[in-house]
Chain A
Amino acid sequence: MRGSYQTRTIKWALHYGILLLFVVAALFPLYWLVKVSITPNDILYKQGTDLLPSKLSFEHYATVIGKSDFLLFFRNSIIVSGITAIASTVLATASGYAFSRFAFRGKFWIVGVMLVTQMFPLVIVITPIFSIFGTLGLTNSLAGLIIIYTAFNIPFATFLMQSFFDGIPKDLEEAAMIDGATRFKAFVQIIAPLTLPGIVATAGFCFTGAWGEILFALLLNSSASASTFPVGLLLYSTRATIEYGPMMAAGVLALIPVCIFFFLIQRYLVQGLTAGAVKG
């Protein structure tokens, strides 16, 4: 007997009740963001604490799209994040596979090095990176950002992909290799397709990571043609004032693609990590 009807109802009420709290907590700040973006300037401060402004206006969206370089920044962000996602995932798939399948000399040290790269405050490495990129002609370019984002994403992406590969039994490619295929062929044609959810999840993770990065985007690039949207948002903070209306409008516009994207792939993240978790 699973417990009385009363106990079950209480359990479900609690279940949905707590979930509701989480949902509200997750959405409330985002709601505020949207609210500021549709509040006209004259009542922005006067009705700042009201839940709903007395009048709505899309003037900030018009300002952002019409009077600034926002569309250019947005396009740059898509290019940078997209290519970063693809590059990181490809490289991480290869290295994740290696970590999953092989026990090789130096594995401990390589993992250690990858870990250390995550520990160092980015601020210090910016100047050396800038100098190196300068000599390579990569400063003030989208390519420079892509390279550095990929490098920083690889450690965690590798960990993710390794986890997904751990969930696929080694026998599969071993059977293929006995049949005469090279490991590489087995990898590309059999194993990788099986981890498609994992690949999608890793790509999505790298995309969202690159999308919001601001430190390098601000310090490595200067011209508008090589700036991403976080820099665009910062430009709304002028010397004299912070133009919250357009800034939040630009923020909302920039969030739409990444939210949709994340909405779609989050399921695969769970799915893929589950498989890997079995092998711990």
Chain B
Amino acid sequence: MTVLYTSAGIRRRLAALEPYLYSAPALLLITVTTLVPIVIGISYAFRNVMLLDPTSGGFVGLDNFRDLMRDGSFWGALKNTVTWTVSCVAFQFIFGLILALLLNRPFPGRSIIQPIVFLPWAIPTFLIGMNWSWLFNPAIGPLPHWAYALGLMSAPDNILSDPQHALLGPIIASIWWGTPFFAITLLAALQAIPSEIYEAAEIDGAGSLERFRSITLPFLAPTMVVTVMLRTIWIANSSELIVVMTKGGPADSSQIVASYVFTQAYQGLNFGYASAVATALVVLLLIYALLLVSIRQTMLSSR
């Protein structure tokens, strides 16, 4: 009997398979439960799918996308999505950074203060939406009255029913919820910077602002790009706060693409069109992700 494979050869082959074996269970689960439905979901975009009409489902090619181009509500929602995403990410990042800087060095009380300021992350978003709706309602919440007393508002009104400012409500709630996420990841990144570098810079006479600019920021940058990218994708897709607090109103002034998908899917029951909108969002986010990944690569290679 000829030995067709040497044991060393088998081991080498297995070794090559190793990464796939380790990631297989995760990938299998994702493929079956998420990827396949997403592909089916995307396929709806090219068909006329009305949820409760069994006779629908015919192939319509790019019709849904053509309707999309002409749909004013979609473009309005897209504009809002940019406002929403940029504001949320920017402020979550800034406040998260401030928090992280404050928590970086040990101080008395840190072990109590740190968990408290991170707590908002643990609260379910829909509960946060209800909570903040209550806070913004002048009949039953204090915020409008305080804003009026501080001169920020001309009358204690509910900003959620003001088309100019309705989106502000969910943005504030989102900042409250999401700041801990950035604080945690930024803090982790800060603590990874060796203190010797700071000390050396101090000896050389660099002030704290100079140290921040030339040491902290460059060190933080590559890791932060990934975090910002992930968070942006999540936030762009998260319509829960908006749906709970304003339902996209008044007059669609706080509607974002993700909540628009929900409206088309579940009030119009037009899954074909809703899918087209969703697919458009995915394409835009993919472009964004690729952009950021290449930025990160550039940063890493120049380090």
Contacts and interface: CB of A to CB of B under 8 A. Distances in A.
Q: A and B: direct contact (Cβ < 8 Å)?
A: yes
Contacts of B125: 212, 214
A273 B113 contact: no
B94 interface: no
Nearest to B39: A128
B60 interface: no
Contact of A150 (B29, B98, B271): B29
Interface stretch (B66-74, B85-93, B140-148, B158-166): B140-148
A189 interface: no
Contacts of B184: 266, 269-270, 273
A37 to B, nearest CB: 11
Given A15-B107, A119-B233, A274-B188, A124 B274 contact: yes
Contact of B115 (A156, A183, A266): A266
Interface in B7-57: 15-16, 18-20, 22-23, 25-27, 29-30, 32-38, 40-42, 44, 51
Given A30-B119, A123-B274, A230-B124, A280 B30 contact: no
Interface stretch (B131-139, B209-217, B246-254): B131-139
B228 interface: no
A contact patch SS: helix
Contacts of B123: 30, 212, 255, 258
Interface residues of B, number: 89
Given A26-B119, A132-B36, A120 B188 contact: no
Interface residues of A, number: 88
Interface of B: 15-16, 18-20, 22-23, 25-27, 29-30, 32-38, 40-42, 44, 51, 95, 98-99, 102, 107, 113-128, 130-132, 134-135, 138-142, 145, 176, 184-185, 187-189, 191-192, 222-223, 226, 230, 233-234, 237, 239-240, 257-258, 261-262, 265-266, 271, 274-275, 278, 281-282, 285-286, 289, 300
Closest 3 CB pairs of A and B: A212-B124, A48-B140, A273-B188
Given A117-B38, A262-B118, 17 more contacts: A26-B116, A29-B135, A30-B119, A44-B140, A49-B145, A114-B30, A124-B265, A132-B37, A159-B226, A183-B15, A208-B122, A211-B122, A212-B127, A214-B240, A273-B184, A273-B188, A280-B223
